[in-house]
Amino acid sequence: MKIKKTMLISVLCGGLFILGFTVQAQVGIGIMTADPSAQLDVTSTSKGFLPPRMTTTERDAISSPATGLVIFNTTTNSLEYRSSTDWVMLTTVTPTSMGAIGAATPNRATITAGVLSLAPADGTNGGIVTNAAQIFAGKKTFADSAVAKGFSATDSITTNGFRATGNTILSGTVGVGTATPLASAVLEVKSTTQGFLPPRMTQTQRDLIAVTAASAGLTIWCTNCGVSGELEVYDGVTWTNMMGTSSAPVLIKIGTQVWSNKNLDVSTYRNGDPITYVSDPTVWAGLTTGAWCYHNNNPANGALYGKLYNWYAVNDSRGLAPAGYHLPTDADFTTLITTLGGTAVAGGKMKLAGTTWWTTPNTGADNSSGFGGLPGSWRNYQGQYVAIGGEGVWWSATEIIITQGRFIRLASNSATCNIAGNGKNDGRSVRCLRD
The per-residue pLDDT string of the chain (435 residues; one tens digit each, 9 = 90 and over) reads 333 333 333 333 334 444 445 555 667 777 777 666 556 777 777 777 777 878 889 888 888 877 777 788 888 777 777 766 777 776 433 222 222 222 223 333 333 333 344 444 344 433 333 332 223 333 333 333 333 333 333 333 333 344 444 555 555 667 777 778 777 766 777 777 776 778 888 877 877 775 556 677 788 888 877 656 778 888 766 677 765 555 445 678 899 999 988 899 989 998 889 999 999 999 999 999 999 999 999 988 888 899 999 999 999 999 999 888 899 999 999 999 999 999 999 999 999 999 999 999 999 999 999 899 999 999 999 999 999 999 999 999 999 999 999 999 999 999 999 999 999 999 999 999 988
Instruction: State in Å, rounded, how far the first CA of the chain is from the last one.
Output: 51
| Contact predicate 153/83, CB 8 Å | no
| Contact predicate 309/428, CB 8 Å | yes
Single-letter residue type at 163: R
Q: Tell me if residue 220 falls in helix, strand or coil.
A: strand
pTM exceeding 0.85: no
**DSSP code of 273?**
P
| Contact predicate 391/375, CB 8 Å | yes
Distance CA 128, CA 148 (A): 10
Q: Where are the domains of the chain?
A: 4-189, 250-435
| Contact predicate 407/422, CB 8 Å | yes
Distance CA 29, CA 162 (A): 9
Question: Could you give the dihedral angle defined by the CA atoms of residues 21, 22, 28 and 30, in that order, rounded to the nearest 10 degrees?
Answer: 10
Which residues make Cβ contacts (< 8 Å) with residue 177, sequence separation at least 6? 23, 24, 25, 39, 40, 188, 189, 190, 191, 194
